[in-house]
Structures are given as structure tokens and as C-alpha cells.
Structure 1
Amino acid sequence: MSYQVKLQISPVYDLLSSLMAYSKCSKAFDLDNQWVKKVRNELDKDFMAEMDSLSLPFPLIALLIWRCPDNSNLDAVTNWLASLTVGEVFEQVSPFLLENVPNDIGTIKNDVISVFTQWYTKYYKDQELKIQKLLSQERDRFDDCLSNLGPQKTIEMFCNGLAIEEHEELKEVVLVPVYHTKPVNVVFDDYKGFLIILYPVEAPEENDLFPPDRLMRMTRALADEKRLRILKILSSGNRSFTDLVEVMELSKSNLHYHLSLLRTAGLISIHHVPFTNQDKYGIRAGVFDDVKQMLERYVFH
């Protein structure tokens, strides 16, 4: 294997993912428009206006968190950022970015400190202990999987079917467990030689009378003719997005929607070749046995 995989656990990454869930308001996230509205009702108008006026560069912010000597808590990260001059921030990120460092990197640094500090106080602080306990449980699972399965299979298991293919320029993949952007993998591939992947961690089910979220995603994904046709096509082998557009005769946006539902349900895999546009989709091995087992476990236990 040409690359290594490492795990980083920090609530600061999840704080970042909560800002992404709030700012992007994607239908792919479990935390939907209703959650955004609820949070907005709890924020003061000045901070909402500040948030609405900014377009935060999330890949750059993830890189800054990764570069921080101590990213175990928000104070450590913001104090480190505050101590850096604009030139020092440039030196921290420029060797790692594929693109040029933004000209307004000093403004970005100040915006990150301001938004992160206020967002933590007004929203995230009340979530931190519960989420940190959830995220910290990933360490033992990661160590066990890595020793038994190796880097690529570990990534595929943790990222629900995301397979990172080898590439001569790829040296390291950093896996980061987060809660707020579940069930989506957020892949930051804006860097030289490595990737940062925010992967989703599910909270334990609180009531066994209700079906698990993963089972609901699976059954919803299967309850559509177009998505079943996609699975049928993929049963004969991996296909590129372009291949699927031609065969399915769907618009690109429509196909993206259906593939997103199949991916977050864990029914299909995506074989991602870093630094290229050569991704291919396939059916995950054994996934239909998983559907059967999860359904039987929920119904009969």
C-alpha cells in the first residue's frame, strides 16, 4: 500500500462540521432545514448577520486545525491562530495547498477565530461533552480495524463504502470522526500528498421501538425504481458517473441525487482516485446480507 491512514479525534473538527451543516444546509445531511431554523432562533441577530456575510473556506480551515500543534480543544486552536502573524499563517499552509494561498489569509484567520469562538459559546458548548464521548470511542475500533484489515479496507469500513485508490502522489489519509455532517463523508482533497476525510459517527439508538437510522436510509434508498435500476447496472461492474448518465438517461443533478442516497445508505461504493476525475461506482460486497440482518435484528429483537 502506497499510503498510510491515521486517525485524528478532536471536537474542533466536529465544530467545523457543525458550521458546515449550518452554512451549507444540504439535504444530504441528517441535520436539515428544521435544525438550521432551530439553531438560528437561538442565535442573536448580529452573529447571524456575521455568519450570513461570510463564505468560510472549509478545506483551508481543516488544514489549519490539522497544522495546529495542539488541536485537542478550541482554545488551543484559536490561541495558536491568534499568535500567528499573517506571514506565519502563510508559511503554515502554503507547502500543503494545491492552489495558491488566498490573498486575504489574514482576514480569514480573524474570521475563523471570531466565528469559532462565538459559535462555540452560542451553540456547540452544550453539545461538546456528549459528542466528544461519542467520537473518542472510535480509537479502539480504528486500531483494531487497521491491524486486521489494512489501510484501504479500514477507510472503506469507516467511510461506509468509500475506497481510496492508490496514487503515486498520495502519502497519507487522515480520518476524522464527526457527528454533525452525518451520514456524509466530507473529503478534503485540496492538499499536496494527503487527504482529510471527515467521516460520520452515529449516535446510539435511544429507543429500540424505532428503526435505526442506517436501516431507514437503506430501505428508503431501495424504495425507488431509478435507484434499483442503478444497482442493477452496477451489478455487472463498476461504472463512472459519465457511464451512468448515458445508461440511465438522467440529468447530472438527478443522478447525483440518486447516487447520494445510495452512497449514504452504504449500498454502493465509490472508488476515489485522488487528484483525478476517475471515480467509479460499484455495489458493496455483502451489502444485501447487511440489509437482511439489520431488518431481522430490528423486527425480531
Structure 2
Amino acid sequence: MGYQLVIDFSPVYELINSLYKYIYHKQVKHLFLQDDWFRETKRKLAPQFAGQLADERFEVLHRLNLLVWQYKGDQTADAFLSWLQNQPAGDIYELLSPWVRSIPGNLGEIRDRMVYLLAKWNEQYFQHMDANILQALEKDADEKERLLTTLSPIDLIEEATNGIRLEETEEVKTVILTPQYHYYPAAILDFHEHICTCLYPSTSAMKTANGEVGGKMYSLVSITQALADSNRLKILRALNQQPANFAEIHKLLGLAKSTTNHHITALRRAGLIRAHHFGKSTAQKYSLRTSTIEKLGEQIMAFINE
């Protein structure tokens, strides 16, 4: 019943990911790249294009990852966009239909809009990114490919995402694992028919882009901040007894659901707990990652000694 794990890298994934991050920056919180990144990026954009993106809500943008995975041409943004522009709507339908249950009827219009947005974004932002970041992402994917010879797919995904376990189910046949930078430290999961795309946060790319601040220091700050709350300590103590689902943790804390979710997210992104997914984007249960807690003292001393 196990799924096939595919490690995949293309700069096009990050092209799409970075645009998605810009469009939805207000909805996504507690990432390394936040308001300062958005303001700096907006200044680089032509006013007309920035105005267009301010009203853009391109809900199907993430489905492009399924097309990137199937694209076999030159792995550059320009080459992919040229390929996409020349794909008839019927061919796009055939590429998506095995995995996407509901496909809009106006695929030609959607294709044209996607190509326009991504081409402008590439011209005004993405092609000016530090090339070392993309190189780090590619090296990270190569490293995960090597690890796949010694780790099970489930364990490799947990290591890459710092705590997400995609459990084996009959619904998921293939998982595409791809490194990403712009949503660090979050992982982006999208479940389709029998396939899941998982964009994991690349620590290597973060270190390359931000040096010490984006490396061990950020990891330590994330962990220590996650621990500096009594409600989160209650969660850890409860999960040390046995795994629990959201409803059980919510009952334990007696807080609003949004507040409970905030605490769980902080612990998960810090790598202190696991989120167990059974074919759905919402985790069905959580468990304690004792290894992260046991290594914390050593991690602090190693950073101080440096």
C-alpha cells in the first residue's frame, strides 16, 4: 500500500511558489519572509503590474505544480512558459485529469492568464533573485535523493519537512517532494486524486540567502519561542502520554479553535511535534518528536561554542 516518493526540482516550482507567496502574503503569517520582503518586492514591480497583483486571487495557481512535474523540456522559466502557452486546452485537460477532480471549462483563458502573470513575475522579480538560492534548492533535492536510499519515504518526508508524516493510505499513490524557499519554515501540501505535492522548506536555501540569521540561529529562535508558552508546554506534556487529534488538544487547552491552531502550528514548524496526514491536507493527529527536544541542549551549546 506504500506510495512512490519522487524527489523533483525545477526553478519553475519556485517561480510559482514566489508569486503565490506575494499574492497571498496577507493570509500567510509567521514566515521568515514577511512584510519587509513584500514591501521590497513591490518596489521592484512596475506600478501597473503591482496593481494587478493586488486584486489577483488565482486559486488554481498551485495546480501548476502537476504540469511542472510532467514537463520534460529545458528547466528554465522561459522554456516552461513557452511550452505552456503552446499547449492546447485539451492537452492541459489530459495532463491534469488523472489527478484533478474538478477542472474549469475555460482552460484556454486560464492558461493565458497564468502565462501572463508568471512571465511578468519572472521578468520583474524572479530572474533577479540570487542564483545561489536556486542552486542551494537543487543541491538540497540531490541530497534528499541520496537519503532515499537509506530512509523510508515516510521518514524522509518527516526529515525534510521537520515533522510532517504522510502516512500510507490507499488514496495516495505518488508523493512529489520539492524544496522551496519563499514559504520557509512552512511546508505546502496539496492533495489531489492519488497524488500529493509537498513543497518542503529548504534550510540550505535559507542559510544561503540569509547566512547565520537564516540558519542555526533561526532554528533555535523558532524552537525557544515555541517553548516559551504555558499552553504549548501543556500540549507537549499531553502528547508525551499519547498522540492526540485537534479536538482533544482543543479540549485540553479550553481556548478558541484559532488560538489552539496557532499553538499547534508553532510547535509543528519548530519541529517539536509531528503532524500525521492520512491522505488529507488537514492533519488527523499529532505526536511528540522527542528527538528534537533531546537534542536541544546540544544544539544550543554547539551554537554558543561557534
Q: TM-score range with shorter-chain normalisation?
A: over 0.9
1:144 Cα shift?
Answer: 2.9
Q: Residues 142-170 of structure 1, C-alpha deviation per residue, up to 9 Å, x if partnerless?
A: 13321111111111111111111110121
Q: 1:71 to 1:155 in 2, by over 3 A?
A: farther
Name the residue aligned to 2:194. Answer: 193
Kindly report structure 1 stretches of 4+ aligned residues shifted beyond 6 Å. none
1:9 Cα shift?
Answer: 0.8
1:86 Cα shift?
Answer: 1.7
**Which one-letter code corresponds to 2:5 in the other structure?**
V
Q: 1:230 to 1:49 in 2, by over 3 A?
A: same
Could you tell me whether the CA contact under 8 Å between 1:175 and 1:199 is conserved in 2? Answer: yes
TM-score (norm 1): 0.93
Q: 1:118 to 1:128 in 2, by over 3 A?
A: farther
1:58 Cα shift?
Answer: 2.9
**Which one-letter code corresponds to 1:104 in the other structure?**
N
Q: Secondary structure at the match of 1:137?
A: helix
Q: Does 2:235 align with 1:225? A: no
Q: Does 2:263 align with 1:258? A: yes
1:175-254 equivalent positions in 2, closer than 5 A: 175-189=177-191, 191-202=192-203, 203-204=206-207, 206-207=211-212, 212-254=217-259
1:1-301 equivalent positions in 2, closer than 5 A: 2-25=2-25, 26-56=28-58, 57-70=60-73, 72-97=75-100, 99-127=101-129, 129-189=131-191, 191-202=192-203, 203-204=206-207, 206-207=211-212, 212-275=217-280, 279-301=284-306
TM-score (norm 2): 0.92
Identity %: 28
Q: Secondary structure at the match of 1:31?
A: coil
**Which one-letter code corresponds to 1:66 in the other structure?**
W
Q: Residues 251-295 of structure 1, C-alpha deviation per residue, up to 9 Å, x if partnerless?
A: 111111111111111111001100486611111131112221211
Could you tell me whether the CA contact under 8 Å between 2:190 and 2:281 is conserved in 1? Answer: no
The CA RMSD measured in Å over matched residues stands at 1.8
Gaps (5+ residues) in structure 2? none
Bigger shift: 215-224 or 286-295?
Answer: 286-295
Gaps (5+ residues) in structure 1? none
Q: Secondary structure at the match of 2:179?
A: strand
1:81 Cα shift?
Answer: 0.9
How many equivalent residue pairs?
298
**Which one-letter code corresponds to 1:18 in the other structure?**
S
Q: Residues 210-258 of structure 1, C-alpha deviation per residue, up to 9 Å, x if partnerless?
A: 9621111001111111111111111111111111111111111111111
**Which one-letter code corresponds to 2:199 in the other structure?**
L
